[in-house]
Amino acid sequence: MNHKTVKALKGIDPFKTGKELLQKVKATGSDLITLFDPRYPSNLRQIPDPPLVLFYKGSLQEEDSRSIAIVGSRKATPYGREFAKNLAFQLAQAGLTIVSGLARGIDTEAHVGALEAGGRTFGVLGSGIDRIYPPENEELARRIIQSGAILSEFLPGTPPEKWNFPQRNRIISGLTLGVVVVEASEKSGALITASLALEQGRSVFAVPGMPGSWAARGTNRLIKEGAKLVEGPEDILEEILPQVPALKRKEERPKSPLEKLILEFLQEGPKHVDEISRFLKKSPQETLGLLLKMELEGLVRELPGKVFLIAG
């Protein structure tokens, strides 16, 4: 719980206040979860200063621990917006939950990409759960609620004050296995999220940009300082795959018809994603998303150059 919430509750009967708060939360169509609830996001529980209470709309699932944050500039370039959307699409197809801040620019595109892939996504607010900001993203927030959740540590009714956003960034990084910065100026809030990710022991990734471009100054600096360079989803998956061993040990689920076709095709030997796409009569983007999901589940393995073979 943030310091403003604690201050506001001083001297108040906690039992009466808790009941009134729950009633207020329910009136907004939201719910709340405490740090002591077993349903509390497991990744977030591990950070040094997890919120005592999270307000949310939507659903929280165990599988959301396999998540990645995609963040960046609100004033994103067309290239940055397209890259963020495609990256989120492919990672969501692979089975990762996409986390971002529901802001304009890169955040918006990350959520949209995840939704278009039929995946799950979380939007973390710097305002009360009933105060969507920016207001033009209200419809996007409604879509996110159907395929994930919007979350906030701030009391309902809290306005989107500028000092709330750096504080909420620790939740964005804390929910995930790593943070991808797509575009960022030298003073971008996305760099705060990356810094917090490092403090929390999370992986940090950055998309390189054209030297001299304002949109690349922050990301290129992150790469110089040790962030992993990202050109595609495979750069992220190879880094976080060792962090999700449960995927390899889980009981085998029924394979989809497309997965069976891929495994039969790969019996002939390693194949490039383009060959597999032609065989399936699917776009390379759709095929790559499916292959990455199969890689996460230990069914296939990727070799350099987007070549895949049966894992074993």
| Residue 150 sits in the same domain as residue 288 | no
Model pLDDT for residues 156-192, shown as the tens digit of each residue: 999 999 999 999 999 999 999 999 999 998 888 899 9
Domain termination residue (choose one: 199, 218, 243): 243
Angle at 243 between CA 250 and CA 53, to 5 degrees: 95
Q: Is residue 47 a part of any domain in this protein?
A: no
* Number of folded domains that form the chain: 2
Whole-prediction pTM: 0.82
* Other Cβ atoms closer than 10 A to 1: 17
For residue 133, the one-letter residue type is Y
Q: Please give the C-alpha separations between residue 142 and each of 22, 67, 98, in angstroms, as whole numbers.
A: 21, 20, 16
Q: Is residue 51 a part of any domain in this protein?
A: no
| Residue 124 sits in the same domain as residue 99 | yes
CATH at residue 168: 3.40.50.450
Q: Which domain holds residue 225?
A: 62-243
The predicted pLDDT at position 11 comes to 42
| Residue 199 sits in the same domain as residue 252 | no
Strands 121-124 and 97-100, by their bridges, are parallel
Q: What is the mean pLDDT of residues 204-226?
A: 92
Domain termination residue (choose one: 243, 263, 289): 243
| Residue 143 sits in the same domain as residue 218 | yes
197 burial (CB, 10 Å; 0-12 / 13-18 / 19+) is buried
Residue 248 has pLDDT above 50, yes or no: no
